[in-house]
Amino acid sequence: MKTKLLLILTLGTCACGLHAKDYLISTPNTSLLITATPGEKSKFQYYGSRISEQDIQGVYDSGLVFGVESYPVFGLNTPGERAMAVAHPDGNMSLDLVVEQVYQYVSDEAEVTEVCMKDKVYPFVLKQLFKAYKGTDIISTWVEVENTGKKPVTLYRFASAFLPVPRGDNWMTHFHGFWGAEHTMDEEKLTNGQKVISNKDGLANTETDNPSFMLTMDGKPQEEHGNVFGGTLAWTGTYLIKMDVRNTKFNISAGINEETAHYILDAKKKFVTPEFAMTYSTTGKGGVSRAFHRWARAYKLNQGNVPHDILLNSWEGVYFNVNQQGMDDMMKAFSAMGGELFVMDDGWFGNKYPRNNSTSSLGDWEVCKEKLPEGIEGLLKSAKKYNIKFGIWIEPEMANTKSELFEKHPDWIMRIKNRPLSTGRGKTQVVLDLTNPEVQDFVFGVVDNLMTKYPEIAYMKWDDNSSLMDYGSSYLPKDRQSHIYIDYHRGLNNVLKRIRAKYPKLVLQACAGGGGRVNYGMLPYFDEFWTSDDTDALQRIYMQWGVSSFYPAVAMASHVSADKNHQTGRRLPLKFRFDVAMSGRLGMEIQPKDMSEADKAFAKRAITAYKGIRPVVQFGDLYRLVSPYDHKGISSLMYVTPGKERAVFYAYKISHFLNMVIPNVRMAGLDPQKKYRITDLTAVKTDKPCALDGKIISGRMLMNEGVALHTLLASEYSSVALELREVK
């Protein structure tokens, strides 16, 4: 990385006219202001809409400054929340950090500010970093701690960020769930006290909660209006986010969950916390989402600006019943519908213990000769024959007690000495100890061996169907067992970095029993995520609404499933299922041979339509129009290209009553001066498109007055998917 380094003098006045203690960190639409005077505490003064150097005095004069320590530590004046707490070798549990110097420099990605602090007495150095990503409105922050002494220091609290928020009519938007109902959105008014978002799963950290949230400054959250703070912790493991609301004060702390995870920092060693990324929007929640989507595609998603293929995954079609002919048949049928990629899911491996269900074989990553006598070579041959790409499912962090791996390497398993071994899925699943470099080599080898033997593999679905059950490692020393929650994920990151270095173009999907790994700690190594094992289109509207708050459509796997749905048993029209899936990365989770010829013909038309709008959906700006959580009987959203010359509009009827009121929907993000021709993308009958098809309407009319949907969404579970193109 090329870096231009600029040391900001900590005395006197800079050539630019700023007083040396003031440091302005800005993006195109936001600014963060800190003060950092040598020998004093670093202070967080302002974060909000963009200001210039000339506005700084006005921030002070108007009383907008916070004057809060940018990284408060425990030990002196202890009341209240603190970002860090330690114990020195002599037992002293205090820190007293003051600014030593400040650096600001420009890298390929960002403008970076480093505030270097040191303890007044002890050999303890802390560097607080702020990174303003170029071309985005995202600023991230984290800290790097160094023990410059001769003996170990114990870290008991180590937040990535500690941020003040203006106290007012604050509401929080956050996301929670369970298997099959991940990323459910909740919005609530924050009252005095603490609101905590935490996760202690150990491996999959977004099934029950997500380390992402929004905070309003001025009342109930709105999509395109109001001032909103958005933040997310880019970490793959356990986390703790606290909203500390105390009458007139409001502080946020976010970082690794330190409970049962105190960390011993040896002499001359460093400890780096995960990034906490944030933005500030004056255009409501939508502004927060669009900022994170642009950031993700540019910086935090592998190949984030590469279009994603339309795929068929075998899981709901055959489950574990994988065989050579069945896979060939599915590829042939999907290719005929216009599909681009076939993914063989679980059930393809194991010889001593063939993988026929969830009770065996994990860790034995060799092709099952009984099921696939022609091996992966035969499948690749089929894919080539049908002009389709091929992908495969793996779960490399896991093993089963019924496996050759477990028999050969019982010491590779996470387990507690003198305790019975806990097991997960199938009552035999166990977790490999990724704190161990040997295990890291093995997990890397799962991918490396497959890619070395079969370089034509284009895609891998990386699953994780277990929590970190037994908190014990035979590799870590007895006095470092509390490092497991952290060192496991450092080991995982090491593996993923090696994979990406060798196979940068291999498409990887992050899956964890569904949507358990939708976080920005994982996504830099992955191209997309599996949103949920629940493929029911109606429930997906709600889940994908929540996911879209922070994660872009290009990464959101959204699949058309069977009628009736395997998880909910609900029956939904094929058009509805496609219209929902086409609002993300389109795929299918279905057995083609169970589809009628009419359904296959419709699927082929819908896939062709999606190929035409794929750049708009996967790389456009999202505008959420009518929330399913508002109970208006419909839900609607749209994507608009940056140049506003194209858009795709979706609307879904999600409840059905006689003579129900269906509101007109006002579009957003268009150019009021442009005129747009509307095309019905997924008409059930090609000779009977919806009434809006072919109409030319101005952007001003579509945004100010909207479109009437009462005739378009007349029947139960009806939907529309419309393309808008500028007419010149």
Give 266-283 pLDDT, tens digit per residue: 999 999 999 999 999 999
Task: Return the structure tokens found at 381.
Answer: 């041959």
Mean pLDDT across 215-236: 97
> pLDDT category, 78, cuts 50, 70, 90?
confident
pLDDT value at residue 4: 45
Question: Tell me: the pLDDT tens digits for 541-565?
Answer: 999 999 999 999 999 999 999 999 9
Mean pLDDT of the residues in the chain: 96
Q: Which residue has the tokens 């670093």?
A: 42
Mean pLDDT across 678-696: 97
Rounded Cα distance, 80 and 13, in Å: 35
Residue 184 pairs in a beta bridge with 176
Question: Strands (DSSP E) along 415-491, which ranges?
Answer: 429-431, 459-462
Which residue, 704, 599, 687, 606, is CA-closest to 650? 606
Long-range CB contacts for residues 529-533, cutoff 8 Å, separation at least 24: 529/555, 529/556, 529/557, 530/461, 530/557, 531/182, 531/183, 531/556, 531/557, 531/558, 531/584, 532/180, 532/181, 532/182, 532/183, 533/179, 533/180, 533/567
Residues near 449 by Cβ (< 8 Å), separated by ≥ 6? 365
Mean pLDDT across 310-321: 98
The secondary structure element, H or E, covering residue 406 is helix 404-408
Question: What percentage of the chain reaches a pLDDT higher than 70?
Answer: 97
Task: Return the structure tokens found at 35.
Answer: 């003060």
Rounded to two decimals, what is the model's pTM? 0.96
Mean pLDDT across 633-649: 98
Which residue, 564, 575, 580, is CA-closest to 606? 575
Determine phi and psi for 102, rounding to 5 degrees. Answer: -130, 135
- Domains detected in the chain: 4-300 (2.70.98.60), 311-398+435-473+502-619 (3.20.20.70), 623-727 (2.60.40.1180)
Task: Return the structure tokens found at 346.
Answer: 């679980």
Mean pLDDT across 93-113: 97
- For 175-195, give one letter per residue: b (16+ CB within 10 A) or e: bbbebbbbbbbeeeebeeeeb
Question: Tell me: the pLDDT tens digits for 380-438?
Answer: 999 999 999 999 999 999 999 999 999 999 999 999 999 999 999 999 999 999 999 99
Does the structure show a pLDDT above 60 at 106? yes
pLDDT value at residue 672: 98
Determine phi and psi for 159, rounding to 5 degrees. Answer: -70, 150
Task: Return the structure tokens found at 343.
Answer: 């993914």
pLDDT value at residue 646: 98
Does the structure show a pLDDT above 60 at 633? yes
Question: Tell me: the pLDDT tens digits for 439-460?
Answer: 999 999 999 999 999 999 999 9
Phi and psi based region of residue 230 (left: phi greater than 0; alpha: psi -120 to 50; beta: remaining)? beta
Mean pLDDT across 238-260: 96
What one-letter code names the amino acid at 325? Q
Does the structure show a pLDDT above 50 at 3? no
Mean pLDDT across 134-141: 98
